[in-house]
Structure 1
């Protein structure tokens, strides 16, 4: 069963995504910010990470800066955010983010992207 770590400070969104993905058979782990997310990556070594950009303590950009130089940098990261400007997408690509999901999103689109990066 694939393990997915969801890093997002929005509790309702985080838990909704977790509930839907659990129903589909994924093993889900949750984190509220990038700093805690880095610790969870070491602890559970997920197969995929879904990370928000705008979070307290350590945002998605800071998470990626540290993740891409860690021993777990081979774990793909998908960004989930309402930020849709081209400059944001360019920054994310330069940080090594594998894909970008724009809020709001259709759950089937999220699942398609997840499946693409878990293969």
Structure 2
């Protein structure tokens, strides 16, 4: 697992967070087309460091623009909800934990998800 850390000296704004996220996707698209990732954010709440995940572990096809845009929107929405719709958020760092995958792993992930979805509907 590779961890890319975004350290902040000041409060992290939503626009800076979007910029870091877009840069990450741009950089990793040069290396691979399939990616499993999870984002965790470290912030201060009542003078204690707290860790929260902005998304569960998800496998993304970087060639599929709709999939990437939807994933980014979900992460940005979760960040905005965590910041209580303020423009700034007092974070210490953001970790992007990711694993580079191949097409076979991505297809297995999709098939497993479809199978679980059909089980939920049939009950």
Give yes or no for TM over 0.5.
no
TM-score, scaled relative to structure 1: 0.26
Higher relative contact order by CA 8 Å / sep ≥ 6: 1 or 2? 2
Greater radius of gyration (CA): 2
